[in-house]
Structure 1
Amino acid sequence: MKPHAFAICAYKDSPYLETCIRSLKNQSRKSDIILCTSTPSPYIENLAEKYDIPLFVRDGASGIGEDWNFAYHMADARFVTIAHQDDIYQKDYVKTLLECYEKYPDMTLFTGGYAVIKGNKPVFFEKVEFIKRFLRLPLRFRGLSHLSWIKKSVLIFGNSICCPACAYNKEQLGEPLFASSYRFALDWDALFNLAERPGRFICVEKPVLFYRVHDGAATKACIKDNSRAKEEAHMFSKIWPGPVVRIIMHFYRKAYEEYTS
């Protein structure tokens, strides 16, 4: 089994897909790359051919959970990163991941911080990521990061873990990875379930990728149609009593307004 693979999920004809591919090709530690889609097109096929990347097409209607599970399934490696087509990965992402695994062989999840790009320009201070970094503090105690309560503690006030930054230990976690019916909070739900299983969550508190915020992103769409608020409230209800959920969601809705502004 190869140590790591990127499985890019391509949806329709994203103008950012090629930039994402280049960032994966330019890794300081080379890794397998595959391209997966449920919306095949000449644009995607041409990029796969241009960069000599295997292309896998999933039959059936597009769905985030189904598409992510398909990409995870098609990647033949110990660790799999489901790469989001809009994002740009730092050149030492794979190198850092494998160094962490060498030090912590029980690592089931690797992740890290991120920097934001808005309008093709980096944002040097992003309030939401600053708060998420604070919420991830328990994972800095790596000697304890195998404990379920430590892993869950970074998820009880929201999902502080950046989904595209994650690499999952497929060898230990098996399949399917995402079993939720959620459209937005499926990664949070999956991480909460993984926190109950044996294995260590390792987080590198430095930006391992550039996370792109733009009008066509699924995150903005989920805010506008209110599905994000409904799903996050449902997740919080699994953790907290109703009055606490209402207080938390009050502040979350204010954050949505800032995100879409």
Structure 2
Amino acid sequence: MIDHTFVIPTYKESPFLESCILNLKKQTIPSNIIITTSTPTEQTRRVAHKYSIPYFVNNNGKFGIGNDWNFALSKVKTKLATIAHQDDIYEDKYTENILKASCKQENSLLFFTDYNDLIGNEIRSNSLNYFIKKTLLLPFLIKKTHHRHFFKKSILIFGDAICCPSVTLNLKNIKEPDSLFSPNHKCVLDWIAWLELAKEKGSFTFINKKLIQHRIHESSETSVSLNSGVREQEEFEVFKNIWGKGFAKLLMRFYSFGHKDNIV
């Protein structure tokens, strides 16, 4: 049995759900796949039944992305878990590379990979935002695995250099994974989670291969939050907690330039 699960959290009707499932089923090494939701619909039930995928409904009355992701992780029975973002595309060797890395780095808290942006049907390999993230990843370009708090945090204090959909969590090494994500944030909950994990014993492992195509479109959470200003507010909050208000304002001036690449 493969000790890895793709868990797909869905919200209401999901136009990308079926294509996401088909994409995940193309992995060179098959993984477990489950679907979770706090807003069940006939469409998501029908798709789950069509592909014989376990379907879990969250009835605890708590809503929001953080609660949805925490519930999703609570239903995973394997050691490794990837929260699959429906509108992104996982290359067919994603699981294979994750499993290889996990065998070599059993003490890792998380594994993450490189990525391309996908706009429409075109892949964009380079952008200002990508360049900024790659620069922040310098410690992991020199050495792919770090266990010291200093190095884990170093790729997060000037911005979130970790591509969220590329992350696989090692649930065995994480304390209370079903409360990992903040229920009070919409955009930076992954960044906050990585900062908290950086404090824990265990390493971060970077797989320097482009194993994700991160889709940018006008309905994506990234585009919506950028257009509404919510992302900027939450990012300023994180920077302020790390650096203080004055330097956080300065950092936001530079960091916000990279976001222009993610607005459609």
Distance 2:182 2:135 in 1: 28
Who is 1:41 aligned against? 41
Change (3 A) 1:161 1:144: closer
- Opposite residue 178 of structure 1, the aligned amino acid is F
Contact 1:139 1:151 in 2 (8 A): no
Per the alignment, residue 203 of structure 2 pairs with: 200
Instruction: Report the CA distance between 1:180 and its aligned residue.
Output: 5.2
Segments ≥4 residues shifted beyond 4 Å: none
Against the structure 1 CA distance between its residues 258 and 26, is the aligned structure 2 distance closer, same or farther, given a 3 Å change threshold? closer
Please name the residue that 1:54 is paired with. 54
Match of 1:182?
185
8 Å CA contact retained: 2:66, 2:183: yes
Alignment-mate amino acid for residue 72 of structure 1:
L
Deviations along 1:32-62, one digit per CA (max 9) or x if unpaired, are 1001111211211121112111111112353
- Please list, as runs of the form range in 1=range in 2, the aligned pairs for 1:60-79 lying within 5 A after superposition: 60=61, 62-79=63-80
- What is the Cα deviation at residue 144 of structure 1? 6.0
Letter matched to residue 122 of structure 1: I
Measured against aligned partners, the alpha-carbon deviations of 1:136-177 in whole angstroms (never above 9, x if no partner) come to: 121234476001100000001110101111111111103222
In the alignment, the residues of structure 2 paired with residue 49 and residue 82 of structure 1 have an alpha-carbon distance, to the nearest angstrom, of: 20
CA-atom RMSD, angstroms? 1.7
Using the TM superposition, give the Cα deviation of residue 259 of structure 1 relative to its aligned residue in structure 2, in angstroms.
2.4
The TM-score normalised by the length of structure 1 is: 0.94
Structure 2 counterpart of 1:200, one-letter code: S
User: Structure 1 residues 114 and 83 mapped into 2: Cα distance closer, same or farther (>3 Å)?
Assistant: same
Q: 1: CA distance between counterparts of 2:48 and 2:127?
A: 33
**Contact 1:34–1:55 under 8 Å retained in 2:** yes
Residue identity (%): 38
Letter in 2 for 1:127: L
Q: Secondary structure at the match of 1:72?
A: helix
Q: In the superposition, relative to structure 1, how do residues 27 and 204 fare at CA in structure 2: closer, same or farther (>3 Å)?
A: same
Change (3 A) 1:145 1:242: same
Which range moves more in the overlay, 138-147 or 55-64?
A: 138-147
Structure 1 unaligned regions, length at least 5: none
Report the counterpart of residue 173 of structure 2 in structure 1.
172
